[in-house]
Amino acid sequence: MKSQFTLESFNSIYDIWKKLYDSSRTAPVFSSPDWSKVWWQQFGSGAKLHLSAVRQGGKTIGIAPLLVNGDVASFIGGSDVCDYLDFVVAPGSEDSFFSELLDNLKAEGIMQLDLAPLRPDSTVHTSLINIAAKQKWQVSCAPEDVTVELNLPSSWEEYLQLLSGKQRHELNRKLRRLNEEGDLNHRTVTDASRSNIDTFLRLFRESRQDKAAFLTPQMESFFRSIAHAMAEQKLLRLNILELDKKPVAATMCFDYRDSVYLYNSGYEPDYGWLSVGVISKALCIKDSIERHKKRFDFLKGAEAYKYHLGGQELPLYKCLLSYAA
């Protein structure tokens, strides 16, 4: 069946992209139309948007959310704020989609693809690299980072049993010590009100010097915009841990189908001795279990606390594809 390749704008393709994204088995939230549009508005300056769709028999079978610099295409999104990226492809249509995409990229003089960060179950890893190799593209993929995730049991008690004896003892000790310090409250908000985002950003900024340096005015604008976009999609969960009504830690999470993404966090340094940062994340896990979620995704990075809370490591890849005419 003949395929049709078209270049699109965010507005022209939004509804179809959203529908295809919702039906995809592997497309991450970072490759959704809402996330991609916010990222492009904040960071896209200097690149050329190359947002394309492939249709077959009048039906859209895939979206390629790319940007182009010179003759190199990469995903819309950056690894500093997007933990995984991928194409959005209808299940079973990978061969047709990627064959058409590669042919059109070559015809436009786009001879390289620089794709990262990629989960092992991404369509790039499971389909594109094999199709590209058959079409005489040179393919090089290598691990560049790790992500950490946790398959959730059906109860908090079962979760505690998944931890090692030492991990379980430490978590219970920290929870007990914090409860003894005062009135503990872990509340969740699902809107992006200015006051709650202000609280999160203040704790994020104050928790570590590197986070304070990371939170430039442009990055703060992105955080506020993405929180609003995710709230509109009913994905945002902003969790604030309070001790005697004072916010001491916060996490920004996103619901993603049967998973919860722990996107970022912060805490009050004066309360660091009470391990409020780790406890706020443990309480997010507890909340996810109680809401019958299946997976808790700590996202990219090998921070020690992720393993202490039971996370398991997966590699993340970078793939480079090049075509020499």
Question: Does residue 129 carry a pLDDT above 80?
Answer: yes
Higher confidence at residue 26 or residue 186?
186
Average pLDDT value for residue range 295-302: 98
* Whether residue 109 has pLDDT greater than 80: yes
Give the ranges where the chain is alpha helix by DSSP (H). 10-23, 33-43, 94-107, 123, 129-134, 156-162, 165-181, 194-207, 209-214, 217-232, 276-290, 304-308
Query: Of the ranges 19-28, 62-71, 196-205, 263-272, which one carries the lowest mean pLDDT score?
Result: 19-28
Give the mean pLDDT of 224-231.
98
What is residue 26's predicted lDDT score, i.e. its pLDDT?
A: 87
Q: Which residue's structure tokens are 């699902």?
A: 190
| Structural domains of the chain, ranges and CATH numbers in brackets | 3-144+317-322 (3.40.630.30), 153-293 (3.40.630.30)
Position 272 scores a pLDDT of: 96
Q: Can you give the pLDDT at residue 250?
A: 98
Question: What is residue 324's predicted lDDT score, i.e. its pLDDT?
Answer: 83
Query: pLDDT tens digit string along 16-65?
Result: 999 999 998 889 999 999 999 999 999 999 999 999 999 999 899 999 99
